[in-house]
Amino acid sequence: MLGFVISIILIIVTIILIIANVRIVPQTNAYVIERLGGYLTTWDVGLKFKIPLIDRIASKVSLKEKVVDFPPQPVITKDNVTMSIDTVVYYQITDPKLFAYGVSNPIIAIENLTATTLRNIIGQLELDESLSSRDLINTQMRSILDEATDPWGIRVNRVEVKNIEPPADIQEAMEKQMRAERERRESILRAEGKKRAAILVAEGEKESAIRKAEGQAEAIIKVKKATAEGIEMIKNAKADETVIALRSLETLAKVADGRATKLIIPSDIQNISGLVSSLTAVNDFTKKDDVLKDSEVLEKEDVLED
């Protein structure tokens, strides 16, 4: 009976030990296994079992990419300007064994390595180069850190300079320089605008004068052409001197138009004035003769009626 109880106890203990030593390794994780104090293997994703009291999990390592934001570090540029720079490091564990046995505190090691590397790079650059060469700084730091952390099973994917803070007096001087540069550009743009406006105004006035002159020239040409055509028409009509003189009188009347007090009449027009008077008299006499004839006809009609 006692043996049966001991057997049951042993079975229960065995089941408990088996359950206690079964592990499931999740995705993006790795377990470093030691046997009797020495490295045995690295467990990947899946169901795993270790020997009780002999094997143990020495380290659980996450294979995800991690981001570490380090505090600002004081650095000195080549032209002896002290400023603070804080960086952000993106790293990933590629070898769990090296990570577990390579360095005791990987994060502190990366932070110190980042600070020393940043001082070395900035010490070779002047202030203006440091402010405008962030890509160069990031590239150099990533290359140096990745090479230095490779024995630790760590791969540095990216290094970003988060912020650069020069001293207060340097910031004030930079702001004044930027303000002066903006004012200079504004003055140049204003002067160019005025110059362009003056050029456009001058070109407009020149174009207007040219068009006005062209219009006057065209008007003169049309007047001359009309005059020539009129002379040509008179010539083709074979008008005699009397017609020409009458046209001259009409023109003279239009010139006077009731405003002139004195007129100088050419001699050839004076000679034709008698002809005009004669024609007027004949016209008046003809009208009177017609009136007399009409009255005689009426008297004869009255006598016949009586």
Where do the structural domains in the chain lie, given as residue ranges? 2-62, 66-166, 241-306
Nearest to 148 by CA among 169, 179, 117: 117
Tell me if 123 sits within 8 A of 77, measured CB to CB: yes
Query: What average pLDDT does this structure show over 254-275?
Result: 52
Q: Measuring CA to CA, which residue among 179, 201, 82 is closest to residue 130? A: 82
Highest mean pLDDT among 60-64, 74-78, 126-130: 60-64
Please give the residue that has the higher pLDDT: either 174 or 242: 174
- Determine contact, residues 97/39, Cβ cutoff 8 Å: yes
Which residue type does 209 have? A
Calpha distance 111→88 (Å, rounded):
10
Q: What is the pLDDT of residues 5-58, one digit of tens each?
A: 788 888 888 788 778 888 888 998 999 999 888 889 999 888 888 888 888 888
| Lowest-confidence pick of 72-81, 98-107, 230-239 | 230-239
Q: Radius of gyration (Cα) for the chain, nearest Å?
A: 60
Q: Give residue 92's pLDDT band: very low, low, confident or very high (50, 70, 90).
A: very high
pLDDT, residue 90, reads: 93
- pLDDT-derived band at 286 (thresholds 50, 70, 90) equals very low
pLDDT at 293: 47
With a CB cutoff of 8 Å and minimum separation 6, the contacts of 115 are 70, 73
Mean residue pLDDT across the chain = 77
**Helix 241-256 vs helix 267-305: crossing angle, to nearest 10:** 90
Residue among 19, 93, 98 nearest 63 (CA): 93
- Collapsing DSSP to helix, strand or coil, 237 comes out as helix
Q: Which of 187 and 226 is assigned the larger pLDDT? A: 187
CATH assignment of 66-166? 3.30.479.30
Q: Are 89 and 73 in contact (CB under 8 A)?
A: no
Mean pLDDT of 199-205: 86
Provide mean pLDDT across the span 278-298: 46
